[in-house]
Amino acid sequence: MEQQAKICAQNGEGETHMVNLSSDTVTEPSKAMKEAMMSAPLGDDVFGEDPTVNALQEKVAELLGKEAALFVPTGTMGNLICVLNHCRTRGSEVLVGDLSHIHIWEQGGVSQLGGVHPRTLRNLPDGTFSLTELRQLVRGVDDHWPTTALVCVENTQNMVGGRVLPLAWLDELGVLCRELELPLHMDGARLFNAAAALGVPPSRIVKDCASVSICLSKGLGAPVGSVIVGSKDFIKNARRLRKALGGGMRQVGVLAAAGIYALDHVGPTLTRDHAYIQEVARAVVECKSEIIKCDPASAHTNILLLECDPEALPPSHLCERMDQVTDEEVAAIGERVVARILPITDTAVRMVVHCDITHEDIQSVINKLKYVIKEFDGKA
């Protein structure tokens, strides 16, 4: 629907309430987190001498039930290190979901930098894939073929709306991977959101994984960093790979301290973010729009996908409208609200709640979104 909205001037017409739901990577360290960072004891982590990094690594390894851990700058590097560590022979093949972060959002680094061939399985709407298809895609011995060396999963699954992989399916996958003698890696960027949603320790979710990468700067709200876990031997070689990829940082305890704070203080609050997403989802459903829809049952964690009718409303147009304020809108909802959201596919917009979002923010976003939906439906 063509919108001819008059945009209010930013000066002299009231303060604008800005709410950024484009990602959970947009958070800023709280005062308490900054204080923890500033007071952290430091050392040279390349030499293994940063006590705060060591404390973070020990903490994450214990939380995930693994022998050892390694702090790395980013989740992309963490996943890359894990894949290269499992696939040490060029021409190895990794089996990975076609909607996974490793396959879509990491620039093909496993092949670009590691000579590893990705082979995709079709991700189902719940984020899983067919275990029958997995068995069928494992290569036999043939000089013409790459060698299947690794299976990867993502939890939560970003591209299907932050869905949590079912524990029963993960258990079946673990059994199959042992049968096939293939290691299993989990991109657990939002693993702690999955654990909060399931009400289980994260170690339960990853019990069959040979390696896991978790992100501190997504739902947990730290400014930088990820951690990978595995066996002592796996992490020993991962440290070498981190150095080769330029990820050896020196007095990096100042960042690790933020990760420790996030695990201790933000991690326990993640269910709040999930509840906020449900509030938004229910509000959208109540609008009964034929143009903008969502499924609250599929919003397991802190991510909500708004499905748009692309003929009537391309996702980018909805995002642009949520970034604007009109005179009529202010009169109707009583405040100036700008809500940043992200077009993620040709038919869907993503909204992500994080630790910087308040209940007041959510109510303001709901009021604006309901008004905008009615506007596009021609009911405003």
Q: Are residues 251 and 284 in the same domain?
A: no
- Decide if 197 is inside a domain: yes
Q: Is the pLDDT confidence value at 358 over 90?
A: yes
Q: Are residues 134 and 275 in the same domain?
A: no
Q: Are residues 141 and 198 in the same domain?
A: yes
Q: Are residues 241 and 355 in the same domain?
A: no
- Decide if 165 is inside a domain: yes
Q: How far apart are alpha carbons 106 and 215 in whole angstroms?
A: 14
Q: Are residues 260 and 139 in the same domain?
A: yes
CA distances from 99 to 308, 344, 379 (A): 19, 12, 36
Q: Are residues 261 and 277 in the same domain?
A: no
- What digits encode the pLDDT tens for the residues 289-328? 999 999 999 999 999 999 999 999 999 999 999 999 999 9
- What digits encode the pLDDT tens for the residues 214-230? 999 999 999 999 999 99
Q: Are residues 311 and 262 in the same domain?
A: no
234: CATH: 3.40.640.10
- Decide if 7 is inside a domain: no
In this prediction, residue 378 carries a pLDDT of: 80
Q: Is the pLDDT confidence value at 331 over 60?
A: yes
Q: Are residues 205 and 314 in the same domain?
A: no
- Decide if 11 is inside a domain: no
Q: Are residues 252 and 133 in the same domain?
A: yes
Q: Is the pLDDT confidence value at 1 over 70?
A: no
Report the amino acid identity of residue 269: T
Picking from 244, 267, 290, the residue at the C-terminal end of a domain is 267
349: CATH: 3.90.1150.10
Instruction: Tell me which residue range forms the domain holding 122.
Output: 31-267
Picking from 267, 293, 309, the residue at the C-terminal end of a domain is 267
Phi, psi of 328 (to 5 degrees): -65, -40
- What digits encode the pLDDT tens for the residues 115-173? 999 999 999 999 999 999 999 999 999 999 999 999 999 999 999 999 999 999 999 99
- Decide if 361 is inside a domain: yes
Domain count, the chain: 2
- Does this model's pTM top 0.85? My answer is yes
Count of beta carbons in the 10 Å neighbourhood of residue 129: 24
In this prediction, residue 14 carries a pLDDT of: 72
- What digits encode the pLDDT tens for the residues 42-78? 999 999 999 999 999 999 999 999 999 999 999 999 9
CA distances from 288 to 281, 351, 369 (A): 12, 19, 13
Q: Are residues 305 and 359 in the same domain?
A: yes
Q: Residue 13: which pLDDT band, with cuts at 50, 70 and 90?
A: low
- Decide if 2 is inside a domain: no
In this prediction, residue 8 carries a pLDDT of: 41
Picking from 267, 293, 310, the residue at the C-terminal end of a domain is 267
In this prediction, residue 380 carries a pLDDT of: 58
Q: Are residues 321 and 176 in the same domain?
A: no
- Decide if 5 is inside a domain: no
Residues 179 and 138: beta-carbon distance below 8 Å: no
- Decide if 9 is inside a domain: no
What is the dihedral sign for C-alpha 307, 127, 124, 274? negative
Q: Are residues 217 and 361 in the same domain?
A: no
